[in-house]
Structure 1
Amino acid sequence: MSTAEGKYNIKAVSHMLGIPPGTLRAWERRYDIIDPVRNDAGHRLYSDEHVAILRWLADKVNRGFTIGQAVDLLEADNISYVSEVQQSPEDQTARIADDLLFALLHFQEDEAQKCLNQAFSLFTVDKVITEILGAVMVNVGALWEEGKITIAHEHFASYFLHVKLGTMLQAQIPQPYLPKVMAVCAPGEEHELGLLMFSIFLKQKGMQIIYLGQGVPPSDVASAVKEAGVDVVLTTCTMQGNIRRMEKMIEEIEQKNPNVTFAIGGYGLNQQATVSSRLAPFVIGRTKEEWERWVNDLLKVHLKKK
């Protein structure tokens, strides 16, 4: 419960936040989240901190949370909303990414979970995936390649992120009229976090995801694509040495499924100075903006076919 010096009456707060006075009273009564002081006439007076908390809750409700879920997030980690308001979004994402990386590299699962809770309380799923989890994933990979962390560190961090991303993937509800996507790692790949991230991004858009992950022979993928009636095959490659294998897999899938399209990405592909003309049309890009453009182009083509 928050208490501080009162400055604003309920009408002023209602006007500032766009929340009806009756809703404000109901939130206070039901969830005991703030405790406005009363003036001599018995009227509520809200502090700046009260307004900051109510604004944060209203933002979560507008993003699709129930008020109960928003309150649970508020109480889970004792977030400092005054400091959050003062920080720019870029500073906040960078700070949370750094804190999450530190926790993972010190085997602090509880602290890592707190970082994730805070991230999801502040930002959309897309932003958390692309700007926080994506940054952590790249840094873990780079530190491992440079020999600055052990395989144990890399496995712990990857497993934590894999579990969280997998849970998010299952939580989304697809739309049957949108493209059906099969997600599979390129042959020889052992890391699938990038594949999971883009799969969640697509499922957030309403697409159905058939997730296969790593270790599936190309011939089996080709058969599964045909059997499931897949529209798009999503594949990622973290190691440059596997790019040619990925290209061969695409060729094998196309032989059995000439109408299927492809989406490719991953750290290994992004490190290439140039991408072959064979693969270039399928590259999804590195940034959220590039991902959005790719999705928009795909949907235009898909909906025309329907």
Structure 2
Amino acid sequence: MFPVKAAAELSGLTPETLRAWERRHAAVVPHRDGKGRRLYDGDMVERLTRLHRLTDRGHPIRDVAGLDDDALGQLLEESRHTGYGGLDALPGQMLDAIADYRVDVFDRDLSVAIATLPVPVLVGKVVTPLLREVGVRWADGRLAIAQERLVSSLLRARLLSILNQHPRERRPRVLFATLPGEPHELGLLGAALHAYEAGMPVLYLGTELPAVELARVSARLGAAAVAISSVDPGQAQEALAELRALDKALADGVPVWLGGANARYLAEELGIPRVQAVVDPSALTRLARGRPAPKRRD
């Protein structure tokens, strides 16, 4: 059971908005304690979170507040897939622009997509296909080093504007980073966006962070988990050493999620229970639910 302030934070709302939705639209009907104070259970917080996502995507609260939970879930799922069929060609067009070093065209298309698309559509129709196409063109020689770095820097700058929208987030966050020797971050950015859309508080730390620094940040913030991308086979042995150091330095109860081409190998080689390979970004949602966060250290 959560009081108003906690329920608002968990669902991404302000207490004022929560009260307004409750008073004007009967979005939820809270419980009352012995002193008449409002209390919200987990199902109510989940409902408020869904309503928040739908209003972010343009649905007026007056139109969705009366829907039952199943209808809200269906509406959320439909909004992921409908109305955006024309985007299929966009990632290829953006990389064609990069091939000609038309940075302004790539950046314009990316900026418009970020400004106009819901996050799940942005990830599913633009970012993920773009990352996949970068890999294909890199492998067959159609993308030069300079062009790949242009894509990386432009994506990073624009996507961080989404991930850093809540710099004062107080819920336990999932830290996203790569280890020393791993400069590639496009897959890490994509995973962070998936986690963000799933409602997880995200802190994106970027590339090449030593294990001891990751553990220090995790302890300071009381992190919910640490997510690490490792893609370079040549760095696998160094990654093993860093991950062992991270396991020793990290507080008990903080899971480590590995993504990227090396993830399965690293997890199997380490054999550490809290270190898991997560090759499907959507699994981040399932992993996050029900995990108690460690106590914050001041």
- TMscore range, shorter length: 0.5 to 0.7
**Match of residue 241, structure 1, among 234, 237, 245:** 234
1:225 — aligned with what? 218
Secondary structure, in 3 states, of the residue corresponding to 2:120?
Answer: helix
Name which of 232, 256, 273 aligns with 2:249.
256
User: Residue 143 of structure 1 is aligned with which of 133, 137, 142?
Assistant: 137
Rounded to whole Å, the distance in 2 between the matches of 1:197 and 1:247 is 23
Equivalenced residue count is 222
**In structure 2, what is the Cα distance between the partners aligned to 1:209 and 1:303?**
14
What is aligned with 2:101? 107
Identical columns (%): 19
Shift of residue 211, structure 1, vs aligned partner: 2.7
Cα pair distance change 1:120/1:211, threshold 3 Å: closer
| Greater mean alpha carbon deviation, residues 256-265 or residues 90-99 | 90-99
Counterpart for residue 182 of structure 2: 189
Give the RMSD, CA atoms, in angstroms. Answer: 3.7
1:127 to 102, 116, 121: 121
SS at match of 1:129: helix
With over 3 angstroms needed to count, the CA separation of the structure-2 counterparts of 1:96 and 1:191, relative to structure 1, is same
* Structure 2 residue ranges without an equivalent (≥5): 1-52, 61-80
1:294 to 284, 288, 291: 284
| Unmatched segments (≥5 aa) in structure 1 | 1-59, 68-86
Report what 2:66 is aligned to: none
Corresponding letter in the other structure for 1:300: G
Secondary structure of 1:144's counterpart equals helix
Change (3 A) 1:142 1:283: same
Going from structure 1 to structure 2, the CA distance change for 1:302 and 1:269 (only over 3 Å counts) comes to: same
Which residue of the other structure, out of 150, 157, 160, is the alignment partner of 1:163?
157
List per-residue Cα deviations over 1:17-49 (Å, max 9, x = no partner). Answer: xxxxxxxxxxxxxxxxxxxxxxxxxxxxxxxxx
Query: Quick check: 1:97 aligned with 2:91?
Result: yes
Deviation at residue 216 of structure 1 after TM alignment: 2.1
Secondary structure in structure 2 of the residue aligned to 1:194? helix
Residue 189 (structure 1) shift: 0.5
Q: CA deviation at 1:275?
A: 5.2
1:147–1:296 distance in 2 versus 1, CA, 3 Å: same
Distance 1:108 1:209 in 2: 32
- Counterpart residue number, 1:215: 208
Judge conservation of contact 1:194–1:236 (CA < 8 Å) in 2: yes
Structure 2 counterpart of 1:6: none
- The answer (yes or no) to whether the contact 2:163–2:203 under 8 Å persists in 1 is no
Q: Cα 1:279–1:149, aligned 2, differ >3 Å: closer, same or farther?
A: farther
Structure label with greater radius of gyration: 1
